[in-house]
Chains A and B, each alone.
Chain A
Amino acid sequence: MSTDSLWYHLPPPSTVVPTPPAEAPRAPVALSIDGREVEVAAGDTVLDACRTAGASVPTLCYLETLTPVNACRLCVVEQEGARVLVPACSRKAEPGMKIQTASPRVRTARKVVLELLASSVDLSTAGELTPLLEEYGAAPGRFGAGAATVAQPVKDDNDLYVRDYGKCVLCYKCVEACGTDAQHTFAIAVAGRGFQAHISTELDVPLPDSACVYCGNCIAVCPTGALMAKPEFLLRQAEQWAPERQAVTDTICPYCGVGCTLTVHVQDQQIVKVTSPIDNGTTRGHLCVKGRFGFEYVHSEPER
C-alpha cells in the first residue's frame, strides 16, 4: 500500500517552533512634562507621559480597561501652542510636546469642572472626588441654592442592583462596559441631550425588561456609586456599610472552567461584595452574573 503513489502522505511535522513576525521597533516619543523631559512608547497617551514624569493628573471618566471618552475634562492639561486645553487621557503623546499639568488655566478649568459636578450631582459616595474638591478649592455653593441638579428617585427594579442616577456624572463607563469594551450586551446607552442627557434603557423600561444580563460590570466601573449592588446599598441605607471592617480575599470563581479571579469582600462573616482585580489578565475587572452575584449559597446553611 505504501508503494501506491495515489495515496497522499502527510508531510512530517515540522520541528521548528514558529515565532511571531518581528515587529518593527517603534521609536520612543520624547516630550516635556512640567519642564521635565520624558520618553514614552509610541502610541502612549499624554496621561501615560504625565504618570511617567510623576505628575499627578486627576481622572474621572478614564479607566485603563475602557476606551477613553474624554468627557469629564478633569484630566485636561495645557499644551504649549494649543488654543485650548487638551485631554491627557486620550491625546496621543507627540514628539516635542510641551505640557503643563498645573498651570493656572489648568487649575481653573479643573476647579470649575469639579464645582459644576458637585453642584449638580450627589457625590456623597464618590470617594475619589472628595479630596480633589479640597485640593482645587472648589466651592460648588457659589452657584446658589437654586442651581439645577440631576436629583431623582432611585431606580430599584431588580434583585441584584440599584441605579441611583442622582449620583451619575455621565462618565459613559457603564455604557462602554455594557457595550463594546466588555460585555457586548448594549442594554444601556446615553439618552436625551444636554443637561437632560442620562443613562437609559430603551424607553427607560425597567432593567428586567431590557437586554441586561446582570453581569454587574457597569457597577464595577461606576466611579460614583450611582450603580451599586443590592447588599451594599442595603447596608449603606442601614448605616452598616463599613469597608474598614471588611476582609478582602482573592479566590477563584467556582462556577466554570475559565477560572476568573474573585475578590471577596467579607464583613461580619458575610460576603457583601465580589469584585475582580482590574489588572487581572483574564478578567480585566469584569465578571459574569454568577461570579459577581452567585454567592448567596455560601450563606444558606441547610443546603450547604
Chain B
Amino acid sequence: MDLHIVGAEANTDERAAVDAALGAPVTGWDGGTHVATRDGRSARGGREASARRDLLLPALHAVQDRVGHISHGALNYICRRLSVPPAEAWGVVTFYHLLSTHPAPPLVVHVCDDIACRARGADGLCRDLEAAWGPPLTHGGHRADPEAHRGAGEAGARRGWMRSPCLGHCEQAPAALALGAGADGVREEWAPVGGAAGIVARAEALERHAGAAPLDEAGRLAALCAVAPQAGSPSLRILRRVGVVDPERLDAYRASGGYVALARALDMGPASVVAEVVASKLMGRGGAAFPTGRKWEAVAREPARPRYVVCNADESEPGTFKDRVLLEGDPFAIVEAMTICGFATGAEYGYVYIRGEYPMAEARMAGAIVAARAAGLLGPDVMGRGVRFDLEIRRGAGAYICGEETALFNSIEGKRGEPRSKPPFPSQVGLFGQPTVVNNVETLANIPDIVREGGDAWAGIGTPGSTGPKLFCVSGHVARPGVYEVPFGQTLGEVLALAGGVPDGRRLQAILLGGAAGVFVGPEALDMPLTFEGARAASATLGSGVVLVFDDTADLPDMLRRIAQFFRDESCGQCVPCRVGTVRQEELLARLAAGGGDRPAAFELLNELGQAMRDASICGLGQTASSAIETAFARLDLHGFGAPR
C-alpha cells in the first residue's frame, strides 16, 4: 500500500504517548528518523507495521489519555507507525465517543443521564451542572451541525462535561466518569456523585491534586459489599468471593478455592472439559442465551489455528452492571475461566475487551493477569503442564455496539466497530478471521464451578430449561439496588423483594427487563419466573439480567424518549433500517409527546418501523431497538402519552 500522509506532524507529547504504546519506531519509514544510508534505498517494515493494525485503538487511547484529543499530527504519526491509511484511521477515531477529535479541556466529566440515573434525578443534576459549568460539550463528527464539535470554543476552559449513556453504576445512581488528560490524567468512576455540587467539589479536588486516595483492602471489600448486598452469604456461587476475598491478591484467591478448577481441567483433558460444559447446559449470560458448550465444541472441532478466546466485557446495556462487579470483585476467576476455555478449545491466546467506562475493572483485571503470569498460571507453561495460554486486555472507547460479538472483533482488529454479517459465525470465522470462542463475563464466571462439580451436578441448580445461578442487576426505584444472585426459577417479585421492593409509600408502575434492548412489563408480571422459558412464555426477555424498577413518580414517556435517543446515538450507521429507523423512531416519539398530528397514523408508523428494524437490520441492536418502546405502548398505562392536547 502506498500511504499518502501529508500535513501536520505530531508534537513531542503525542509521539511520546504513541511510542509508549507501540515501542520506538525502527526506520524512517515507520515514523522514525530518516537515515539515508539505511532508508534511502528501500522501504522495509510495511508488512510488519500493517500486521499490527490491531494496535490502532490502543495507540489512539494513548494519545487521548495524554493530550485529550486526537490531532491531525497525532493521527498521521499513528498511521505511519501502523501503516494505516489516514482516512480509515479517521473513520475509527470518529466512531468512538470517548475519543475527541477537537481540543478539549484537560478534565471532562461524563455525566450519565440514561434511564437508571434518570430515575434517580440525573436530569436535574445535569441542569444544575449546566448552571455551574456552562453548556455540555458535544461529540465531534456531527454532520448536521458542523460547529457542534466536542470541546469547540471550550479549549481554554479547565474542565468540561458532557451527557453520557449508561455508565454501568445504576445501583449507585446518578453516576459520572471523570476522564483527565495528561501524563497523570485521572480515569475515575464517581458513583454516587452527590449531585452537581459533588461533581464540582471532586473536580476541584482533582485540580488541587487532592483526589481520592487508593483504597486499602478493607476499603475495596466495603465498596464491593455496597454493590452486592448479599456479600458473604453462604448460598452464593458466582458472587461468593465478591466483597469477601481481596480482589487484588492472588494468594487470597487461591486460598478461597481458586485455581482448583484449572488443575482439575488439566487432569481431565480438553475433550472432557468441553463435555462437562455441554452437560451443564450453561446458556450465555450476555443477553442472547446461546448454549456455551456448543460454542466451545464448535471451536474445538475447527481445524484452523490459531484460535482465540474473547471475554466480552463491553457491558453497555443500560441498567447492566453485573460484569463490572465480577471484574472488580473477582478478577482472578475470569482469568482462570478463560485459561480453562483456552485449554479446552485449543486456543493459546485470549483478549478481554473491557468498555472504556470501567477503569477500575480494567485495573483489577490487569493486576490479576500480571499476578497470574508471574505465578506461572498464564504464559508458555501454565501450571508447569506444558499448556500455553496468555491474555491481554483491550479497552473499548465508548460504543455500545462493540458489545455485539462481531463488532467487538472489528474493534480489536483496529477497524470501525461495525457488526459483520452472520454466517459465518465466530466459531468458524471470528477474531482475525480465526475460530473464536466469545463469552460474556458472567458466563465465564460459572466455568470453574462446572469443572469442579461436573456439568450434570451443576445442571441441578435452577430449572431444567435454565440451569445454574443468575445475576440480576436491580436498580431504579428500589430500597436496596445492587447485583443479586439467585438460582434460576425465582419470580420477578421474589427478586424485587430481595432488593427491598419499591420504597415505602410508593406504587410499582413498571419494570424494564433486559435493558434498553429488553421489554417493559407491568406490576401484573411479578409472578413471572425469571427463567429463559418463563420469560419466553410471558413474551418477555431476561436479556443481560436487568431489572430496572419504576415507581409511580417515574415519567415513563420521558424514559421511552431516552431509550429512543440511546439507540439513535449508538447505532453504528451501517444498515439503513437501523441508521435512519432509530432517528425516525425518536422523531415519532417527539411528535407523540407534542400531542399534535394524526395519532393513529403515528402509532401505525411506529409499528411498521419496528417490524422493519426487527426483520431487516444486520445485528441485534437494530433488531431490538423498538422492543422496549413497543412493549411499553402495548402493556403500560402511559397516562395518555401522545393523546391530542
Enumerate chain A interface residues (CB-CB to B < 8 A).
69-74, 76, 84-85, 87, 90-92, 105, 108-109, 111-113, 116-117, 119-120, 142-144, 146-148, 150, 152, 165, 169-170, 184-198, 200-203, 205, 209-211
* A117 and B580 contact, CB distance less than 8 A: yes
* B587 and A195 contact, CB distance less than 8 A: no
Q: Which of A120, A152, A186 contacts B88 (CB 8 A)?
A: A186
When C-beta atoms are compared, the residue in chain B nearest to A171 turns out to be: B576
When C-beta atoms are compared, the residue in chain B nearest to A192 turns out to be: B141
* A109 and B577 contact, CB distance less than 8 A: yes
* B579 and A184 contact, CB distance less than 8 A: no
When C-beta atoms are compared, the residue in chain B nearest to A139 turns out to be: B605
* A142 and B87 contact, CB distance less than 8 A: no
* B608 and A112 contact, CB distance less than 8 A: yes
* B580 and A196 contact, CB distance less than 8 A: no
When C-beta atoms are compared, the residue in chain A nearest to B578 turns out to be: A194
* A187 and B141 contact, CB distance less than 8 A: no
B468 to chain A, nearest CB (A): 25
A281 to chain B, nearest CB (A): 25
A119 CB contacts on chain B under 8 angstroms: 580, 584
* B615 and A84 contact, CB distance less than 8 A: yes
Q: For the complex, what is the distance from the CA of A85 to the CA of B618, rounded to whole Å?
A: 9
When C-beta atoms are compared, the residue in chain B nearest to A197 turns out to be: B573
* A143 and B571 contact, CB distance less than 8 A: no
B6 CB contacts on chain A under 8 angstroms: 209
When C-beta atoms are compared, the residue in chain B nearest to A142 turns out to be: B605
Q: Which of A71, A146, A201 contacts B87 (CB 8 A)?
A: A201
* B94 and A70 contact, CB distance less than 8 A: no
B311 to chain A, nearest CB (A): 24
* A189 and B591 contact, CB distance less than 8 A: no
* B616 and A152 contact, CB distance less than 8 A: no
A146 CB contacts on chain B under 8 angstroms: 587
A209 to chain B, nearest CB (A): 6
* A203 and B72 contact, CB distance less than 8 A: yes
Q: For the complex, what is the distance from the CA of A253 to the CA of B39, rounded to whole Å?
A: 38
* B1 and A186 contact, CB distance less than 8 A: yes
A195 CB contacts on chain B under 8 angstroms: 144, 568, 571, 573, 579-580, 582-583
* B601 and A194 contact, CB distance less than 8 A: no
Most-contacted residue by chain B among A71, A112, A143, A185 (CB, 10 A): A112
A87 CB contacts on chain B under 8 angstroms: 421, 618
7 tightest A-B CB contacts, nearest first:
A197-B573, A211-B4, A186-B85, A112-B612, A202-B86, A116-B580, A189-B91
Q: Which of B575, B582, B597 contacts A72 (CB 8 A)?
A: B575
Decide yes or no whether B81 CB sits under 8 A from chain A.
no
Q: For the complex, what is the distance from the CA of A25 to the CA of B541, rounded to whole Å?
A: 47
Most-contacted residue by chain B among A85, A111, A120, A189 (CB, 10 A): A189
Decide: A191 near B612, CB < 8 A? Known: A113-B576, A116-B577, A144-B587. no
* A196 and B87 contact, CB distance less than 8 A: no
Give 11 CB contacts A-B under 8 Å.
Answer: A73-B617, A84-B614, A112-B608, A148-B587, A152-B143, A192-B573, A196-B141, A201-B86, A202-B89, A203-B75, A203-B90
Q: For the complex, what is the distance from the CA of A147 to the CA of B586, rounded to whole Å?
A: 10
Decide yes or no whether B142 CB sits under 8 A from chain A.
yes
Enumerate chain B interface residues (CB-CB to A < 8 A).
1-4, 6-7, 72, 75, 85-91, 93-95, 97, 101, 141-144, 399, 416, 421, 423, 568-577, 579-584, 587-588, 591, 597, 601, 605, 608-609, 611-612, 614-618, 623
B72 CB contacts on chain A under 8 angstroms: 202-203
* A193 and B591 contact, CB distance less than 8 A: no
A142 CB contacts on chain B under 8 angstroms: 601, 605
When C-beta atoms are compared, the residue in chain B nearest to A203 turns out to be: B72
Q: For the complex, what is the distance from the CA of A74 to the CA of B572, rounded to whole Å?
A: 18
Q: For the complex, what is the distance from the CA of A210 to the CA of B76, rounded to whole Å?
A: 12
* A116 and B576 contact, CB distance less than 8 A: yes
A55 to chain B, nearest CB (A): 18
B142 CB contacts on chain A under 8 angstroms: 192, 196
When C-beta atoms are compared, the residue in chain A nearest to B619 turns out to be: A84
B579 CB contacts on chain A under 8 angstroms: 170, 194-195, 197
A188 CB contacts on chain B under 8 angstroms: 87
B101 CB contacts on chain A under 8 angstroms: 203
Q: For the complex, what is the distance from the CA of A5 to the CA of B87, rounded to whole Å?
A: 63
A150 CB contacts on chain B under 8 angstroms: 143
B143 CB contacts on chain A under 8 angstroms: 150, 152, 165, 192, 196, 198
A201 CB contacts on chain B under 8 angstroms: 86-87, 90
* B141 and A85 contact, CB distance less than 8 A: no
Decide: A194 near B87, CB < 8 A? Known: A73-B616, A85-B615, A108-B608. no
B41 to chain A, nearest CB (A): 24
* B1 and A108 contact, CB distance less than 8 A: no
Q: For the complex, what is the distance from the CA of A203 to the CA of B75, rounded to whole Å?
A: 10
Q: For the complex, what is the distance from the CA of A87 to the CA of B601, rounded to whole Å?
A: 29
When C-beta atoms are compared, the residue in chain B nearest to A114 turns out to be: B576
Decide: A105 near B615, CB < 8 A? Known: A116-B577, A195-B579. yes
* A109 and B568 contact, CB distance less than 8 A: no
B568 CB contacts on chain A under 8 angstroms: 194-195
